[in-house]
Structure 1
Amino acid sequence: MDTAVELLSGSEGDELFSMRKLASELGTDSSSLYRHFRNRTELMLAIVDRVLVQAMHGYRRQGPWRARLVDLTLRSWDAYAALPQLAKDPSHYPGSGPGSQLVIEETLQALSDARVPEELIPEWYHRLMTLSVSLISTHAARQSSGPSEQKRRLEAFRVITLGADPADYPALAHYARRIEPVGFTRESFLAAVELVLDAVPARQERS
C-alpha cells in the first residue's frame, strides 16, 4: 500500500497507475497482486482506505462537536491535497475499510453530540460529505492538470472577465480584476464548511 500511494502521488493521472506498474515497482508480476486484489478498483478502494487511516491518525473524540467536524473535514482535505490524482473523483473510490468506517462514525457521533434531531442526522451527514467530496474533487482536478493547461484556463478566464463590456455586464466589469477561476484553497474550503455548519440544526451550544 505504501508503494502504491507513492506511485499514485507521483503520477500525472490515476489512469497511468496500474496493477502492472505497481507489480514492477515491487519486483514481481501483476499476477501476484491479483492474489490479493481481484481488480484495479479493489486496489484503489484499499488505497483510499489507507489514506483515510493515515489522515485519522491521532484523532481524538474530544472538544465541541463543531470543532471535531472541522477537524475531520480538514484531515480529509490535507490527505487528498497530497494525492490530487486520487482525489480528482473520490466518489469513484469511497473506501471500503476501517478508515472509511472511522470517518463516518466520527461524523455521525459529532452530529449526535450536537443534539441534531435523530431523524435528521443521516441527512446532515450526507450534506457534509457531499460538500467535502465535491470541493476536494474540484481542487484536485485543478491541481492535477499540468502547468500549461492551468495557464490556458486562466487566460481563457481573463478574456471573458477583463473583456466584459461594462454596459452589458456592469458587476462583472467592476470585479473582473479581483475574481479568480473556480478553485479552492484550504481557507476557502474551510469557509464553505463553516457555512454549512452554521445551518446544522444543533441543540447543543456551539461554543
Structure 2
Amino acid sequence: MTGRRRWSTEEILDAATELLRTSDADSFSVRKLATALGTDPSSLYRHFRSKTELLRAVADRILLAAMDGYRPEGDWKQRVTALALRVREAFGQQPQLAAVWGRYASSGTGSRLVMEEVLQALRTSGLPDEEVPARYHRLAVLIAALIAAEATGSTVSPEEYEQGLELFRVAVLGADPERFPALAHYARDVRPLGADRRAAFEEILAAHLGHIEAAIRAD
C-alpha cells in the first residue's frame, strides 16, 4: 500500500497562502489546510506546532518577498519610506494576508530583515541611541495599521464596493445643511476612504517621520 505523500514545509506554506486568498485568519484552520492537501492534520503539526505558528510563517514569507532585492539608498527618511512602500506593495498583492500579519506578528527571517533595516535607518538619523527602540515601535505600529486598514478595503468584491460607494454618495451629497453644515459645504470634494490610498499612506508616514526629525532637532 502506498503511504500518504509527505509535504515539505514550503509546500505547506504555499497551500496555506492559497487558502488564505479566499478566506481569513478566523475561518482558516489546520484541518481545512490538511483537507486541501489530502492529508491528516497531524502530519502538518510535525512542521508547525499550532495554527498561530503557521500563520506567522505565512506572513513572514510576504516580508521576505518585500525584502527581496532591497538595497538601502538615501537618508534615513528615504530608507524607511522605501521599505514601508515595499511592504505595502507586497501585502497589497495579497491583501487577505495583511490582517494575518497585523494579528500574528512574525518572528521569522523576513521580520528580522525589516526590523534590522528600520533600526539601522533610525540609528543614522541622529536620534539618541536609547530612543531608537521606542521610535521603531511607533513606526512599526503605524505602518502595520495603515497596511491592514488598506487591505480591508481591498478584499471587498466589486459589487460590495459599488454599493458602499453609492451609500457614501447618498450620505454625503444628501446631508442636511442645517444639521451637517460642514459636510454639506464640502460634500462635492470629500472622497471615500478607498480613494488615493497610496497618497494618504505616504503623507501620513511623512508626517510621522517629520515628527521624529523635529524631535531630533529639538535635542
Give the conservation status (yes or no) of the 8 Å contact 2:59–2:100. no
Amino acid at match of 2:16: A
> Which of these two proteins has the greater Rg computed from alpha carbons?
2
Distance of 1:162 and 1:89 partners within structure 2:
36
Is 1:60 the equivalent of 2:60? no
117-126 or 14-23: bigger deviation: 14-23
Match among 24, 37, 42 for residue 26 of structure 1: 37
**Aligned-CA RMSD value:** 2.3
Match among 210, 213, 216 for residue 198 of structure 1: 210
Residue 136 of structure 1 is matched in structure 2 by 147
Distance of 1:204 and 1:65 partners within structure 2:
13
Aligned pair in 2 of structure 1 residues 104, 134: CA closer, same or farther (>3 Å)?
A: same
- CA deviation digits over 1:34-74, x for unaligned, max 9? 11111111100111111111110111234321111011101
Distance of 1:90 and 1:165 partners within structure 2:
41
Is 1:112 the equivalent of 2:161? no
Is 1:90 the equivalent of 2:109? no
Residue 5 of structure 2 is matched in structure 1 by none
Match among 9, 18, 31 for residue 6 of structure 1: 18
Q: Which runs of 5+ in 2 are unaligned?
A: 1-12
Give the conservation status (yes or no) of the 8 Å contact 1:114–1:203. no
Amino acid at match of 1:3: A
Q: Give the drift of 1:186.
A: 2.1
Give the conservation status (yes or no) of the 8 Å contact 1:12–1:144. no
Residue 167 of structure 1 is matched in structure 2 by 178
Give the conservation status (yes or no) of the 8 Å contact 1:116–1:202. no
Aligned pair in 2 of structure 1 residues 98, 89: CA closer, same or farther (>3 Å)?
A: closer
Residue 87 of structure 2 is matched in structure 1 by 76
Is 1:188 the equivalent of 2:200? yes
* Runs of 4 or more above 4 Å deviation: 202-205
Once the two structures are aligned, what percentage of the paired residues are identical? 47
- CA deviation digits over 1:143-174, x for unaligned, max 9? 11233333333233222211112233332112
Distance of 1:48 and 1:168 partners within structure 2:
45
Distance of 1:204 and 1:165 partners within structure 2:
46
Distance of 2:44 and 2:188 partners within structure 1:
52
Amino acid at match of 2:209: L
Amino acid at match of 2:20: L
